[in-house]
Amino acid sequence: MKGVVLAGGLGTRLRPLTSITNKHLLPVYDQPMIFYPIQKLAEAGIEDVMLVTGGDSAGDFLRLLGDGSEFGLNTLNYAYQVNEGGIAEAIGLTRTFVGGDKFVVILGDNILEDSLASKVESFGNQKEGARILLKTVDNPSDYGVAELDGTRVISIEEKPKNPRSNYAVIGVYMYDSFVFEIIDSLEPSARGELEVTDINNAYLNLNKLHAQIIEGWWADSGCSIDGLLQAGIMARELRRGDQV
């Protein structure tokens, strides 16, 4: 199985910190933000990863990450997203790299306590389709919210006023290669982007979208300055635990 880390975007919610650099290069406690998702993929046994980025800081990722051997990867590949075309467009850039394999996508500002190993294994045993990860939250109206029947997703609503559950969709997605046919059929949203929610809804409509719930903490470190600070505090506990 292959891995994809998405590290594009303008990082407007973190300005002025991102006025001169990509948000995924900012520190979260004692290491750059981008290290965390790559480490999670490597810990799950994924050895071939592609990083998708854009903008003026793309070369900084290459200088920082090199060939990925520091993380135990066989290969670390790079793709450049020219425009701000959305998450689904960024995933589409990995088509040649992925080939016919299954793959795991993680947003570069998502930091998780849980290992992804068991989730990746479950997806590997899944015959076809897609799998998303969920986290119970106190404020589901701020997120995309999934409704479940066992592990099968039966609905997803974006920031609903009356959520059907408290399961927030986090930024980890697992797809088979059929995703590229779905991306080819997508139309830009009102904000001019190809949306990952439309990918997930396409699998949902085919009854091929499953989910797993993470138990440990999860941080969207790119959501705000306060979110970045909180991610650093949580990462400090995680990193200190690793060093015991």
Per-domain residue ranges for the chain? Answer: 2-243
What sign has the CA pseudo-torsion 170, 103, 151, 203? positive
Q: What is the pLDDT of residues 12-63, one digit of tens each?
A: 888 888 888 899 999 999 999 999 999 999 999 999 999 999 988 889 999 9
Q: What is the pLDDT of residues 150-203, one digit of tens each?
A: 888 999 988 888 888 999 999 999 999 999 999 999 999 888 889 999 999 999
Say how many CA atoms lie within 13 Å of 189 toward its Cβ. 15
Q: What is the spatial distance between Cα 206 and Cα 217, in angstroms, rounded to a whole number? A: 31
Q: What is the pLDDT of residues 104-154, one digit of tens each?
A: 999 999 999 999 999 999 999 999 999 999 999 988 888 889 998 888 899
175 phi, psi to nearest 5 deg? -135, 155
Q: What distances in angstroms separate CA 16 from CA 3, 12, 26, 185, one per listed residue? A: 31, 8, 12, 37
Q: What is the pLDDT of residue 242?
A: 60
Q: What is the spatial distance between Cα 59 and Cα 36, in angstroms, rounded to a whole number? A: 19
From the options 3.40.50.720, 1.20.1260.10, 3.40.30.10, 3.90.550.10, give the CATH code of 2-243: 3.90.550.10
